[in-house]
Chains A and B, each alone.
Chain A
């Protein structure tokens, strides 16, 4: 039978545990920052992680960026045509990519491509007690394993987002100018007239940097906090992807409401 006291106790327990985990994540974040010295003194550790999270994500980021740009070009043209202002296609493609789609979609792809693999790696290291073995040998696992993976993701993310946006603009140009026949000069000049470097592009870079920190932190934390079993690791990977996606979208809303207050 459903006992109301038991029930209330369960809710209380779940709440306390959630808050405890949040506090643990915050303490973990500070520990990662504190032990980050090693990832820059022994730079090859971080470079290796930039390779695994950044370079190996290149293909999916570039191809997705191209296709998003192609679709934006087609859909944008289809809608703008009704108002007879197809020259604004460049503006539409560039603004939507640099402000929103570039950072957000690149971060979502990055979370599922690189974040999940980081969680799996750290989770498996924990399950096979490699982290404990390091601790025994007086090697700090946070400095040696966690911090380089965190910084690798943080460094790779803005570059990936910029490539995504650049590829998307190229895709929009390909559809709009090469295939449909929008005027080439109007496409670029209207784009340059309305895209501001600091207001649009730089804010996009800041967004992607924030997403990079969030995704990398969630990925290393879920890996470090996973239950040391096969099932625990698989659950941690699922949590990484779900939590990252939610965090990216929520942070994007907060950042957008601070950066773009509808003044233009």
Chain B
């Protein structure tokens, strides 16, 4: 076959391949929206993290502002230590409240930030003091059942 036609076809092939990769990166993946160039690290301690996973999102007002980098167990205080990479563009006050929420009934769990009113901002490596653990469904149900049972006994008296 003619070398020029061959070159043309291979060029076409490579361009198509690059187009497919770009489609995967920009339209399928999150390269366009959530690339966090500079991040800083925050820590938080939770009594119970439920089903929280590494690489899960950190959201504030519903917007993803960071990702969970590491989850460790602290043997001294018997608490879970969660390390997060937060987008460098966003700063949060010192008294920010970190809680673990679930997206939908069966969705993934994430950490939600509720900004407080303090003027000092959290710096890299700081620990968030105010946290709220994950809601464990079994605990909730058992609490509900116990309170129901207690109500029933009161009614009898």
Contacts and interface: CB of A to CB of B under 8 A. Distances in A.
Nearest to B11: A47
Contact of B20 (A54, A83, A166, A191): A166
A160 interface: yes
Interface in A126-172: 156, 158-160, 162-163, 165-167, 169
B149 interface: no
B145 interface: no
A196 B28 contact: no
Nearest to A261: B54
B86 to A, nearest CB: 17
Interface in A31-52: 44, 47-48, 50-51
A167 B24 CA distance: 10
Interface stretch (A7-15, A114-122, A197-205): A197-205
- Where chain A touches its partner, the secondary structure class is helix
Contact of B24 (A85, A98, A264): A98
B6 interface: yes
- Where chain B touches its partner, the secondary structure class is helix
B14 A159 contact: yes
Nearest to A43: B7
Given A192-B29, A195-B29, A263 B21 contact: no
Contact of A159 (B20, B27, B28): B20
A5 interface: no
A55 B10 contact: yes
B127 interface: no
Given A85-B106, A166-B20, A201 B13 contact: no
B11 to A, nearest CB: 9
Interface string B5-28: 011011011101111110111011
Given A263-B54, A263-B55, A197 B27 contact: no
Interface centre among B6, B10, B27, B31 (most CB of A within 10 A): B10
Interface residues of B, number: 33
Interface centre among A44, A48, A159, A205 (most CB of B within 10 A): A159
A47 B4 CA distance: 11
A54 B25 CA distance: 22
Interface string B45-74: 000000001111000000010000000000
Interface footprint category on A: 35 or more
B6 A47 contact: yes
A79 B107 CA distance: 16
A197 B17 contact: no
A58 B16 CA distance: 10
B30 interface: yes
A200 B106 CA distance: 23
A254 interface: no
Contact of B10 (A51, A94, A169): A51
25 contacts: A44-B3, A47-B7, A50-B13, A51-B1, A55-B12, A85-B106, A158-B17, A159-B13, A162-B21, A165-B20, A165-B24, A166-B28, A167-B20, A169-B23, A169-B24, A169-B28, A192-B28, A195-B28, A195-B29, A197-B29, A197-B30, A201-B25, A263-B53, A263-B54, A264-B56
Interface of B: 1, 3, 6-7, 9-10, 12-14, 16-21, 23-25, 27-33, 35, 53-56, 64, 104, 106
Give the 8 A-B residue pairs with the shortest CB-CB distance, closest first: A159-B17, A166-B20, A162-B20, A197-B29, A197-B31, A163-B20, A263-B54, A162-B21
Interface of A: 44, 47-48, 50-51, 54-55, 58, 83, 85, 94, 98, 156, 158-160, 162-163, 165-167, 169, 188, 191-193, 195-197, 199-201, 205, 263-264
